[in-house]
Structure 1
Amino acid sequence: MRQDISAGAKFPDYVLPDHTKTPRRLSDLQGDQLMILVLTRGSFCPKDRQHMLELVRFHPQFVVGYTQLVTITTDDWHTTNNYRQQTAAPWPFLYDEERIVQKDLDIKEYTDSSHDVMIPHTIVLGRNLQVFKVYDGYYYWGRPSVSELHAELRELARKTYRDWDITDAELRQKWKKGDKSDFYPYGDNSISMDELMLQMAGAVDQFAGKAEKP
């Protein structure tokens, strides 16, 4: 992984086709939420498939926790769809046959002479694609467990939402005075409740425009 892809950096805003062949920009898929980005070897890898199944089981908690999940694979479109369907993953899978991400991040798995794949990584992203934590999953135990992701997202959410502790007296007074600027998603600078519900539903065609390749 490139040295500059570390905590506090902004992750590249890649544009790749999703499982419906629609170009998607990562920042559009993220919206104003937190994000878990999974860079996977592909459907042939049993380690990757097992990790994906764990994420599928955990996914309902991502939804209610205002956290988007996106997978990027070097598989072709047909294999990407098989991978997504066979694991019952409901989130977007982006496919990168040209190895744009692999090359740009310098994560080619050079020990695999049979497949031109990425070294698996799981990346926890704050708003605006800000890197919070990077997990190297070359070995299976390098990947985050769901309990570790829960802990990472708790800490990240604590730093993100100003109304994390609504028992705070100052916040209580602001609410009583009708000042909702520090409350998500009620504040003037926040998204609407309708848009939030669409994001939680994964209705990307309704809350994010189709990305144009740069």
Structure 2
Amino acid sequence: MKKKLKPGDKFPDFSLPDQNGRSVNLSDFTRQGEADKRYGFKDGYPLIVIFYRGFFCPRDQQQFRSLLAFQKELNVNFCKMVAISADEPIVSSAFKAGLGAGWPFLCDTDRKLIRELDILDETEGEYAYRALPYTFVLKPDLEVFKIYNGWYFVGRPTIEELRIDLRSIMQEMDYYSYEAFNSPHVKKIRIPQQTWTEGYSERAEPTEKGIVDSFNIRTGNGYIKAPQFDELIFFNFTAIPGEGYRTIKAGEKVKFELVKTHTGLSATNILRIPD
């Protein structure tokens, strides 16, 4: 390719090792979640890709320190951020840990991607043969939305600029509006509170039985394993009767009602079975 990208171009879906040496694809970070698939949404989430010179660069250190507070906002907004340098995984791992960063640090040690994007620093000094400090904001399909050239530090994006970029992208996604969740299909899986507070006592006793295979306390989603079904049965925490945020543990025996929709099987009215 060897050309400078511009907004509207597709960013390459490359594969690089992360700070632990595990190979990952860029598209792994933009895919929709399992719950989104169940709700019938098609769109994924935007991604911020930051190229930096290396752990030794004081400007990179300052940029990442300013992003530490932003990572919590990204988590609750379901958006991702990755940082890429020519450092080895062991160096990237130490840098990441020292910062207290939660986002992945990817390692382009042979400079293949950096050269492909034509962002290799060819000046003298300690920055030679390192990535120029570019930040790319990508749409879920990896289309480039915004590019920031951080050769001078003032060119690097502020948190507010990144927030505006993400908002602009997400406003065009199929999951963004309240109405998208306030639909009959989604409410079969993401159960409204009033279902459990209005006439629940008249509801029939669940007939299906199984064991909780997993439950992710961060996302509020899990799966039930039932011998009578070939596939794991998805559920959202709202399928557990009650109020507020409800949790359940893997290995607990449950009975439940089965919901069949065009996006697969889900469970509702999940009740624990006492030992």
Give the TM-score range, shorter chain. Answer: 0.7 to 0.9
Partner residue of 1:137? 150
Confirm whether residue 16 of structure 1 aligns to residue 16 of structure 2. Answer: yes
Q: Which runs of 5 or more structure 2 residues have no equivalent in the other structure?
A: 32-43, 191-214, 221-275
**Is contact 2:45-2:170 (8 Å) kept?**
no
Q: Which runs of 5 or more structure 1 residues have no equivalent in the other structure?
A: 187-192, 199-214
Give the AA of the match of 1:144.
Answer: P
Between the aligned partners of 2:98 and 2:9, the Cα distance in structure 1 is 34
Q: Secondary structure at the match of 2:170?
A: helix
Q: CA offset at residue 29 of structure 1? A: 2.6
Alpha-carbon distance change, 19 to 162 in structure 1, aligned in 2, over 3 angstroms: closer
Between the aligned partners of 2:88 and 2:176, the Cα distance in structure 1 is 43
Q: Secondary structure at the match of 1:197?
A: coil
Q: Provide the TM-score with structure 2 as the length reference.
A: 0.60
Confirm whether residue 89 of structure 1 aligns to residue 101 of structure 2. Answer: yes
Q: Give the aligned length.
A: 182
Partner residue of 1:159? 172
Q: CA offset at residue 113 of structure 1? A: 3.5
Partner residue of 1:202? none
More displaced 10-residue stretch of structure 1: 73-82 or 134-143: 73-82
Question: Which is bigger in relative contact order (C-alpha 8 A, separation at least 6)?
Answer: 1
Confirm whether residue 121 of structure 1 aligns to residue 134 of structure 2. Answer: yes
Q: How does 1:71-90 map to 2 (within 5 A)?
A: 71-90=83-102
Partner residue of 1:55? 67
Between the aligned partners of 2:62 and 2:116, the Cα distance in structure 1 is 26
Partner residue of 1:28? 28
Give the AA of the match of 2:17.
Answer: P
RMSD, aligned CA: 2.7
Alpha-carbon distance change, 84 to 160 in structure 1, aligned in 2, over 3 angstroms: same
Runs of 4+ in 1 over 4 A off after TM superposition: none
Give the AA of the match of 1:117.
Answer: R
Give the AA of the match of 2:50.
Answer: V
Partner residue of 2:110? 98
Between the aligned partners of 2:104 and 2:175, the Cα distance in structure 1 is 29
Q: CA offset at residue 149 of structure 1? A: 0.7
Between the aligned partners of 1:163 and 1:154, the Cα distance in structure 2 is 10
Between the aligned partners of 2:102 and 2:164, the Cα distance in structure 1 is 23
Q: Which has the higher helix share?
A: 1
Confirm whether residue 2 of structure 1 aligns to residue 3 of structure 2. Answer: yes
Q: CA offset at residue 160 of structure 1? A: 2.0
Between the aligned partners of 2:50 and 2:176, the Cα distance in structure 1 is 29
Partner residue of 1:197? 219
Q: Secondary structure at the match of 1:62?
A: helix
Between the aligned partners of 1:162 and 1:8, the Cα distance in structure 2 is 22
Q: Provide the TM-score with structure 1 as the length reference.
A: 0.76
Partner residue of 1:42? 54
Spell out, residue by residue over 1:29-72, the C-alpha distance to the aligned partner (whole angstroms, 9 max, x if none): 32222111111111111001110111111100011111111111
The percent identity for this pair of structures is: 30
Give the AA of the match of 2:111.
Answer: R
Higher Rg = 2
